[in-house]
Structure 1
């Protein structure tokens, strides 16, 4: 295997890892939007965009908060 072959192989592995991570974040966002919809009704485009643009740590925090939240504001409070 040449150096170029190794670099290509490493790039493919990195691409798969990044793709899986992005897929997990998208899945977490999708579940949270579904939970919001079931609990509070269809979210506004702004709420949906906020959820879709969040990272894993933020999504996990909001996923925990939705369990006890009585309003959307309680989920997204700083």
Structure 2
């Protein structure tokens, strides 16, 4: 577009078109927020899984890992607190049954 107005500066063109390059378009802001949210969920799943492995003294089965990966972030946060009371895999399975 700049090339169509050979006698105007970029500043004049931006002013004429009402463009503000200091502000991101809403679509980009929303996409970034979605990416951040997905990143938080991925990190929460990894963190809770590590905590459970350590708390229960064994690696979780693929079945349990799969179930954890479907939990939304608020439930993962709740599980992060609840796991402090777990002593067996049965405790985790019971919690998942109650909250899934």
Fold in common (TM above 0.5)? yes
For normalisation by structure 2, the TM-score amounts to 0.65
Q: Which has the higher contact order (CA 8 A, sep 6+)?
A: 1
Alignment match of 1:33 (pick from 43, 46, 49) = 49
RMSD of equivalent CA atoms: 1.8
Question: How many residues get paired?
Answer: 73
Deviations 1:49-78 (A, max 9, x none): 111111011101111111111122323421
Answer whether contact 1:32 1:63 (CA < 8 A) is retained: yes
Q: Structure 1 residues 75 and 61, CA, compared in 2 at 3 Å: closer, same or farther? A: farther
Q: Report the structure number with the largest CA radius of gyration.
A: 2
Contiguous gaps of at least 5 residues in structure 2: 1-16, 19-23
Taking the aligned partners of 2:46 and 2:37, their CA distance within structure 1 comes to 14
